[in-house]
Chain A
Amino acid sequence: MKENKIKILLAGTGGQGVQTLAHVLSHAAFKSNMQVSLVSNYGLEQRGGMSLAYLQISTAVITAPRFSEPDYLFLMSEEARPRIVKYIKKTKHFIETEKYKEILKQNDLGIQSFNVLLLGIVSKLLCDSKLVSEKIIREELKNKLGEKKNWEENLKAFEVGFNKS
């Protein structure tokens, strides 16, 4: 059976929620019975700096945790660009997420929900690829952020991202 695999690289600034995003996606994929690998890279600073997440979801066992040819590369902040510039040429789909900030404004959402908006967008991608179950992603999202403040706003951001055409 042919392997169904996706390689996603998320790159942003520490504090933007890159790792939260990666956490929800990876745990949802795991609970969907997929093979998953997640490696995070940070700068030395405890605050700020750059934050990277290499996420792979596959039907087959993953042997190399990092990769240089992402299927999707999401750049979440300009600060992280120098770190991932070497990957851009080899990426199938390079997405500069700056353009999605417009969507936040249109829907009355704050910048702190930006990563959850992106989560919605990436989740749709994964569900369409049949790699993760939508139900499970929603459960994981609730697990991770349900008890935190701004839950209503975050949930809305997720829906907006998920349903974006």
Chain B
Amino acid sequence: MPKDFQPAKFCLGCGHPLVLITLHKVLQEMGLVGKAVLGLDIGCSLLAINYLPFNTFHTHHGRVTPTMVGFKRSNKESISIGYTGDGGAYAIGLQSLLHSALRDEPIMVIVINNAVYGMTGGQKAPTSFIAQKTDEGINEQPPMLGAEIVASVAQSGAYVARGTVTDMGVMKEMLKKAIETQQAGHFSLVEAMAFCPTAWKTVGTETVSYLKNNLLPVFKTGEIKS
């Protein structure tokens, strides 16, 4: 294992490390590891602390966006990245996310969307699909297309995209573009459709099928605003 990496605390099969490791690769290729600062939501995102070899710190659930707003405004040289899940982004943190996009704050937000609240045991998320089995039962509420909503208030020059961990090649490009957008002084958001076999209660390739069959039809991948 490369000496840069700490042992993973994520569950086996989790989508988080796929995105995080790719993020690190992108930063390395762009020569920006020394400038990167990763603020973490409190959900499974918190497990990313001390996982990659650049500055990380915890914030509070739903509060990573305003924290990075403050950080970036006070250190313009940094590459300020807020790392959160679907709950932190689209439930408790939605207000701040929308206003930061509206104000075109030059921060980057990565949203790991697995349509479920993993760390607290499998409750429904704003992005849970209809008929999804969660802790509370069968979901009847239509899912929120958070990235599209954020894109609708984002300003010219901002970048909003949705990728999937089942296509990391495209995801990598999106992460790169998002960082470039910050360098150009604008807001960026990359939503990553990701695995959560623990909460989905899937095993092996079932996990991949779950994502492809249930989530990808609802959450369209591609650049939403560029």
The answer on direct contact between A and B (beta carbons under 8 Å) is no
Query: Taking beta carbons and an 8 Å cutoff, which residues of A are in contact with B?
Result: none
